[in-house]
Chain A
Amino acid sequence: MSMAIPYTVEPRPDTGLNNVKIGIWLFLASEVMLFGGLFAGYIILRVGSTDWLPGSHFGLSVPLAFTNTLVLITSSVTMVMAWASLIRKDFSKYRLYMGITVLCGLGFMVIKYIEYTSKFSHGYYPSTHIFLALYFTLTGLHGIHVIAGMSYNAYLWGPGAKMWETAPEQFTNRVEASGLFWHFVDLVWIFLFPVLYLL
């Protein structure tokens, strides 16, 4: 006897939403609190610091950061196109767009690796200065989120895509939930870019 998990596709009568969407939004709420706390910490430490130095002092590269911003914005567009392709029942387009999304995530991490190794080679570590402590904490945590989102997207592009044959609506919901997480990760970067590199 098989037991199906309820409300993975159809909405719950009491919430009006399926459980996938409720679950991902509860998770994203906790993520907002996590990053919100860190951004608040940044403001307090920056305002209270007597020897604050901007990112340019430590050689943070604005062109590299802007490239990463473009990469993530592109990935958000391809992510939503992947989801839209599934709604239109066009699986080959889904594969294409999701593949580009994963590659964009990979590209972001490669650029981040270049930035990190450049800082380390100049002897800049989190313990060097309060700005670098904030920079490595915020971008490090964000990078972990990018890796997590990229990994799950790669799963949905590869082995996880088998679900399309057996439960297409449930699979489409999974892609939407992953897209919501990916957009959150991209939004965090959109805030990190000016805060760490421009201001």
Chain B
Amino acid sequence: MSLKAVHIFFVTIATAIAVFFGVWSVQQVLATGTAADWVLAILAVLMALALPPYGVWFLKKMKKVGYV
């Protein structure tokens, strides 16, 4: 398996953890609502939104490189 394939897998897992952390952070915001919790929640959501388009961009950029 090439680095390209592993990177796509990595981006998928990173997106999943960003979603999980986003949910966790929003729960913290609802429970305590401190400024730090807000910052973390916003960053997590931004990360979850940014990673999938990056993955698509990466796939297009590396179209000529194989998966093995």
A residues with a Cβ closer than 8 A to B are 16-17, 21, 25, 62-63, 66, 69-70, 73, 76-77, 80, 83-84, 87, 176, 179-180, 183, 186-187, 190, 193-194, 198
Contacts and interface: CB of A to CB of B under 8 A. Distances in A.
B3 A83 contact: yes
A89 B4 CA distance: 17
A194 B14 contact: no
Contact of B3 (A16, A62, A73, A180): A180
B40 interface: yes
24 contacts: A63-B36, A66-B40, A66-B43, A66-B44, A69-B17, A70-B43, A70-B47, A73-B14, A80-B3, A83-B3, A176-B2, A176-B3, A179-B3, A179-B6, A179-B7, A180-B6, A183-B3, A183-B6, A187-B10, A190-B14, A194-B17, A194-B20, A194-B21, A198-B24
Label chain A's interface by main secondary structure. helix
Quick one: which of B3, B36, B61 has the most chain A CB within 10 A? Answer: B3
Label chain B's interface by main secondary structure. helix
Contacts of B4: 80
Contacts of B20: 194, 198
Contacts of A180: 3, 6
Interface string B49-66: 000001000100110010
B65 A87 contact: yes
Interface string B18-58: 00110010000000000010011001100100000010001
Interface residues of B, number: 25
Contacts of B21: 66, 69, 193-194, 198
A63 B68 CA distance: 37
A179 B68 CA distance: 14
Contacts of A179: 3, 6-7
Contact of A190 (B6, B13, B62): B13
